[in-house]
Amino acid sequence: MSITREEVAKIAALARIRMGDDELERMVPELNGILNWVEQLGEVDTSQVEPMTAVIPNTLRLRADVVDADPLTGGNRREDILANAPAAEHGFFGVPKVIE
Amino acid sequence: MTNELTNLGVKAIRDGVASGTFTAREVAEAFNAAVADAASLNAFIVTTPDHALAAADSVDAARARGEALGTMAGVPIGMKDLFATHGVQTTAASHILEGFKPQYESTVSQNLWDAGAGMLGKLNLDQFAMGSSNETSYFGNVISPWKKAGSNAAMSPGGSSGGSSTAVAARIAPAATGTDTGGSIRQPAAFTGICGIKPTYGRCSRWGVVAFASSLDQAGPMARSVEDCAIMLEAMAGFDPKDATSLDLPVPGWEAALSADLRGKKVGIPREYRMDGTDEEILASWEQGKAWLRDAGAEIVDVSLPHTKYALPAYYIVAPAEASSNLARYDGVRYGLRDLPDGAGLQDMYAATREAGLGDEVKRRILMGTYVLSAGFYDAYYTQAQKVRTLVSRDFTEAFAQCDVILAPTTPTASFPLGDKTDDPLAMYLNDVFAVPASLAGLPAMSVPALLNSDGLPLGLQLVGKAFDEQSVLDAGLAIQQRAGFVAKPEKWW
């Protein structure tokens, strides 16, 4: 299976990465090289095998349903959360207009 | 005195500070000076001499008051720039995070500060930890302190923890944090003649560590001795409710339990690791490793890991898939770079920001990951890779029915000159062929220096243990360390 330039352009659009023509040209053979190499996984008989879901068995924990139980990850941290925003406005993340 | 201090490791510094042989401040000053003197290695993205001095003063004051000192008290370390550090720029070596100053501290770094360590600076790495040579950083290549005999070419310190390996090998830090997704602690350790251990998945909290592939990422220490790694890993590890995959287990006393007496232990030699194209000197070092462990009392047994050759291709589906999802957060809205072309809408802003902010290798992996997760290809690629991962893991379970620890080379070659493999992503990926299987299975694995090859470059040996059994890995590492007597260090040229 090989991937076309149009498909790479589509994936780049899905991944929200703008790509110029030169970069697309470069990516096509590189991605094909990697894809052709990973194709060898098709040789492995996995008909009786479950896909891995957890590498080390662990139980899924639930936290107590308490507001601000952990002050680090609870609420009332607006200033901290906005501190690195490229455009913080009026206590919100500023973005270009989405709805015309 | 300064030079003597910077030759000391974690244990020697901690014990020397505790006994009053020297002060923590003297140590911090010596390393700060060594860091400032080594700018040409490009190991650090930012230096934080004040952090190191403040931590040292706090330790000296605690000692003066007669208080008990932490297990890393007075030890200044390098922090891989993948760990969020409060108020100190954290970039993952990417332009997209340039200027980002976290408002919180990662659990692992906080654990180290709580144990009395200080920070010399944030260490360079491959961008988002994607790379095996430290050539994908937005902040420039890290240069290994080692040179190939008879050549002046700049050598790779390995990757992704290349700033960490260079700093520790060059004696500008006694130890450093690393992270290992598919060999990023062990391969750079092997390239630079130092030790590094990746613990069982879940031992070290991932909270506050910039995510690459969450089911694989594990933090661990890099230092110049097995003892130093044991001390530092103990300080880094521990249950953290803020990480859903953190292991709710007590941290064993690895340092106190260290023993190089391997009588009654079985060391497995995986026959599939004897691959075509592996350097003869690497194979010879493996033979030497067997002899050392036999001398320590271990019995050497052959084991089989039949799916070894499929581990690397499976990794290059699973890791990019997770990365494509994890890196979706870099959108120019909440932190980091924003590129907003004139008149652009929100979607255009995302695409322009990510075009400008992400490096080539990162884009390549995001595209790979997006492709293998996309409709119509998911089962053929991603599900199949996760099934192969189950088989790789099962291979280890079966092998560990016959042995306590596995011995293998860490890498298929010694370090190579910078630029040697940058045109061929696949050739670069193959450098992690021996490291990736243990990552896919979440197992503890370590690299320890064995010897120098005929080019005067270090070669490492890898030990892989059962889940939760870091002790056997460290013990076998100690047995090798004692017999290898590896004391070679790079000659200072920087």
Q: For residues B108 and B65, is the Cβ–Cβ distance under 8 A? A: no
Instruction: Say whether B354 and A16 touch across the interface (CB within 8 A).
Output: yes
Q: Helix or strand or coil: residue A8?
A: helix
- CATH architecture label of A5-42: Orthogonal Bundle (1.10)
- Set of chain B residues whose Cβ sits within 8 Å of the Cβ of A83: 101, 103
Residue B14 located in a structural domain = yes
Percent of chain A with pLDDT over 90: 73
pLDDT digits (tens, 9 = 90+) for B343-392: 999 999 999 999 999 999 999 999 999 999 998 999 999 999 999 999 99
Report if residue B229 sits inside a domain: yes
- Model pTM above 0.80: yes
> Which chain A residues have a beta carbon less than 8 Å from that of B388?
41, 44, 46
Pick the residue of B90, B330, B387 with the most A CBs within 10 A to test the interface with A by mutation: B387
B306 within domain boundaries? no
Residue A68 banded pLDDT, cuts 50, 70, 90: confident
Please tell me which residue of chain B has the smallest CA distance to A60. Answer: B244
Strand partners, B465: B405
Cβ–Cβ pairs < 8 A, chains A and B: 173
Predicted pLDDT at A1:
63
Cβ separation B387–A12 shorter than 8 A:
no
Please give the structure tokens belonging to residue B374.
């996309």
Residues of chain B found within 8 Å of residue A93, distances taken between Cβ atoms? 333-334
Give the model confidence (pLDDT) of B447-494 as tens digits.
Answer: 999 999 999 999 999 999 999 999 999 999 999 999 999 999 999 999
CA torsion angle B329 B332 B333 B334 (round to 10): 60
- For A38, which of B316, B386, B389 is closest by C-beta distance? B316
Whether residue B190 lies inside any domain: the answer is yes
Task: Place A57 in a pLDDT band, splitting at 50, 70 and 90.
Answer: confident
* % of chain B residues with pLDDT over 90: 96
Q: Which carries the bigger pLDDT value, residue B89 or residue A67?
A: B89
Answer whether residue B272 is part of any domain: no
pLDDT of residue B281: 96
Q: Which of B106, B160, B205, B246 is catalytic?
A: B160
Q: Rounded to an integer, what distance in angstroms lies between the CA atom of residue B428 and that of residue A88?
A: 41
Phi, psi of B198 (to 5 degrees): -100, 120
Neighbours of B23 (CB within 10 A): 18
Taking CA–CA distances from A9, the nearest residue in chain B reads B367
Confidence grade of residue A76 (pLDDT, cut at 50, 70, 90): confident
Report the CATH number that the domain containing residue B472 is assigned in CATH: 3.90.1300.10
Q: What is the pLDDT of residues B63-86, one digit of tens each?
A: 999 999 999 999 999 999 999 999
Contact A96 B316 (CB under 8 A): no
Set of chain A residues whose Cβ sits within 8 Å of the Cβ of B370: 11, 14-15
Using the CB atoms, write b or e for B410-448: b if 16+ within 10 Å: bbbbbbbebebbbeebeebbbbbbbbbbbbbbbbbbbbb
For tokens 């089989």, the residue is B304
From B242, B13, B274, select the one nearest B120 (Cα to Cα): B13
User: What value of ipTM does the predicted structure carry?
Assistant: 0.95
Q: Which domain holds residue B216?
A: 2-259+464-484
Give the whole-angstrom CA distance, residue B190 versus residue B238: 26
In this prediction, residues A28-45 reach a mean pLDDT of: 96
Q: pLDDT band at residue B278, thresholds of 50, 70 and 90?
A: confident
Return the domain boundaries, chain A.
5-42
Taking residues B19-36, report their average pLDDT: 98
Q: pLDDT by residue (tens digit) across B220-276?
A: 999 999 999 999 999 999 999 999 999 999 999 999 999 999 999 999 999 999 987
Mean pLDDT of chain B: 97
**Number of structural domains in chain B:** 1
pLDDT at B1: 53
Instruction: Residue B101: list chain A partners with CB under 8 A.
Output: 83-84
Measured in angstroms, the CA of B425 and the nearest CA of chain A are apart by 8
**Residue B268 lies inside a defined structural domain of this protein:** no
Q: Does residue B290 form part of some domain? A: no
First-to-last C-alpha distance (Å) of chain B: 20
Average pLDDT rounded to a whole number, residues B25-32? 98
Q: Kindly list the distances between the CA atom of residue A96 and the CA atoms of A14, A87, B351, B395, in Å, as whole numbers in the listed order.
A: 20, 10, 13, 52
Within an 8 Å CB–CB cutoff, is residue A15 touching chain B? yes
Cα separation, B271 vs B360, whole angstroms: 36
Within-domain flag for B393: no
Residue A51: which of B316, B371, B386 has the nearest Cβ? B386
What amino acid occupies position B138? Y
